Amino acid sequence: MIEVVDALGRTVQLEHPARRIVSLVPSETESVVALAGPGVLAGRSAYCIAPRDAVTGIPTCGGTKSVDVDAVVALRPDLVLVNQEENAKKEVERLIAAGLPVHVSFPHDVRGALAWLESLARMLGTPDAPALVATRAAVAEAHAIAEQREAPLRRVFVPIWMDPLMTFDGRTFASDVLELAGAANVFADRPRRYPLAADLGAAAPLTPERTEGRDTRYPRVTVDEVVARAPEAVLLPSEPHEFGEDDAEVFRALPIPAAARGAVRFADGMDLFWYGTRLAQSLTRLRALIAALPDE
């Protein structure tokens, strides 16, 4: 019997390693393939596109926010992978109510992502998979480099949406990845405020009691706030919004150090937001990207 506790505190029990998996989270689909090969995938979300050659031909079951529960049930999976943030709560509850073995993930930092990956490997029966070994080594190396780092972290702004302008605070996986790679999130201390007018500085925010249960990790910010925080660099990711040159020109025109030195750079959104086996390479790529930023 395999027993794993998920992000909701539920014990997921499997009588044997999973061999028919429906993964509804892109980064988790990629990790399943890396740990056990594409043959164990019975289904995926329409947004599970990597590795492309491996997932092509695997049935889709709607999007991450619009899961086709009936399609998942029809595939008779022995494990369903979902994420508390990426998948809609109502549909996750329906999958659980259908009696399917559902594992809910929600890593907030790199250590949590590695712990999730270890759990996934247990459920797959691949605790010694080379991809897991490589990811463990990459995370250990990143922490060792971070502990020995003498130079101050580079202060960066990373938007995740352009209209409205949004970012993330320090309680997110992406913020921890940045710190390990040598950068400090300039909005790490800035939670989302409710209502919207409060988030934009035009009204008083609701009290913590009135916002309990809401996700406050993704604030809407103003251009004035970005200018006030004076980031040394702006990193424009390829997802969830695919930033382009037009967006880059907006930030280059701002009176901030990053614009003055041309430190507006593009970044692979998968490296920033996809937890799992991708960490084996993404930490190195992000570290190189940040190290290459121009000096004062």
Strand partners, 3: 13
Residue 261 has pLDDT above 90, yes or no: no
- Average pLDDT of the chain is 95
- What is the mean pLDDT of the segment spanning 249-275? 93
Pick the most confident of 199-213, 217-231, 254-268. Answer: 217-231
Domains 2-127 and 150-291 share a fold: yes
In angstroms, the CA 274 to CA 216 distance is 20
- Report the CATH superfamily, name and number, of domain 2-127: Nitrogenase molybdenum iron protein domain (3.40.50.1980)
Class in CATH terms, 150-291: alpha beta
Nearest to 198 by CA among 216, 212, 175: 216
pLDDT in tens, 129-184: 999 999 999 999 999 999 999 989 999 999 999 999 999 999 999 999 999 999 99
Give, in order, the Cα–Cα distances in Å from 32 to each of 27, 98, 250: 9, 23, 39
Residue 55 has pLDDT above 90, yes or no: yes
pLDDT over 70, % of the chain: 100
- Domain parsing of the chain, residue ranges: 2-127, 150-291
Query: How much is the pLDDT for 201?
Result: 84
- What is the mean pLDDT of the segment spanning 50-54? 95
Q: How far is CA 114 from the centre of its chain?
A: 13
Work out the angle between the directed axes of helices 110-124 and 130-148 (0-180°, nearest 10): 170
Residue 296 has pLDDT above 80, yes or no: no
Residue 229 has pLDDT above 80, yes or no: yes
pTM for the whole thing?
A: 0.94
Residue 44 has pLDDT above 90, yes or no: yes
- Given a contact cutoff of 8 angstroms between Cβ atoms, the answer to whether 238 and 267 are in contact is yes
Q: How far is CA 1 from the centre of its chain?
A: 30
pLDDT in tens, 25-37: 999 999 999 999 9
